[in-house]
Amino acid sequence: MAMKNPVNLNAYSTLVFDCDGVILDSNKVRARAFYNAALPYGKQHAEALEAYHILHGGVSRYVKFEILLRDMVGVPVTEQAMQALLHAFTTEATIGLLQCDIAPGLESLRQATPHARWILVSGADEKELRNVFAQRGIAEFFDGGIFGSPSNKDDILQREKKSGNLTQPGLFFGDSRYDHQAATGAGLDFVFVSGWTDMEGWGNYCREQGIPTIKGLGQAL
């Protein structure tokens, strides 16, 4: 179902992008960081959290660590425990984010869509994303802003629509089921970016939902 240029980009006034697996080849970076952050609670729980993370791509790390503590390990969700997990995760993830590949064709896509506002909407930490994108020289592409947790994608999209920053018609590039659901809930069209996704069964899901797919952002040109 992957195709070249499945949509007319000139038809959209806003382009929305997920980060991991779309802008950056960072899904494996995130998964390994979740595993290692949870490892002090035992290998079994570390593996369970990593699996949960992959199954629920795009969900905030705050939510995932609360689930680890409360539902998997069965201990209270304390500020101290959360901060230790967040620190361990962020330390490892940031290193990986500064080293992983940037989507080929990203700059060309930005140059080809001067009429469109670009917005980054991620489940990753907002401050971390802004820092990483600035260091990697791509923050300036996202003239509509770079947004992430602790706000979730649904809330970010509704907030930016209400403020007038996200104007219709809009198109969301994502690589997870949650991305598609968030885009649909916000009234945005959606394209699935498959090349770096870690979503199992994405091909069947896209066929069933009638979602156009591209391997990478370069194919959107």
Using the predicted structure, report yes or no on whether residue 108 has a pLDDT greater than 50.
Answer: yes
Q: For residue 168, what pLDDT band results from cuts at 50, 70 and 90?
A: very high
User: Given this model, what pLDDT does residue 59 score?
Assistant: 80
Instruction: Report the predicted TM-score, pTM, of the whole model to 2 decimal places.
Output: 0.89
User: Given this model, what pLDDT does residue 193 score?
Assistant: 97
Predicted confidence (pLDDT) per residue in 174-211, tens digit: 999 999 999 999 999 999 999 999 999 999 999 999 99
Highest mean pLDDT among 54-58, 87-91, 136-140 belongs to 136-140
Q: For residue 5, what pLDDT band results from cuts at 50, 70 and 90?
A: low
| 42: phi then psi, degrees, rounded to nearest 5 | 110, 150
Q: How far apart are CA 122 and CA 132, in angstroms?
A: 13
User: Of the ranges 13-27, 50-64, 75-89, 121-135, which one carries the lowest mean pLDDT score?
Assistant: 50-64
Using the predicted structure, report yes or no on whether residue 56 has a pLDDT greater than 90.
Answer: no
Q: How would DSSP label each residue in 168-210?
A: SSEEEEESSHHHHHHHHHTT-EEEEE-TT---TTHHHHHHHHT
Average pLDDT over residues 136-144: 98
User: Given this model, what pLDDT does residue 17 score?
Assistant: 98
Predicted confidence (pLDDT) per residue in 62-79, tens digit: 999 999 999 999 999 999
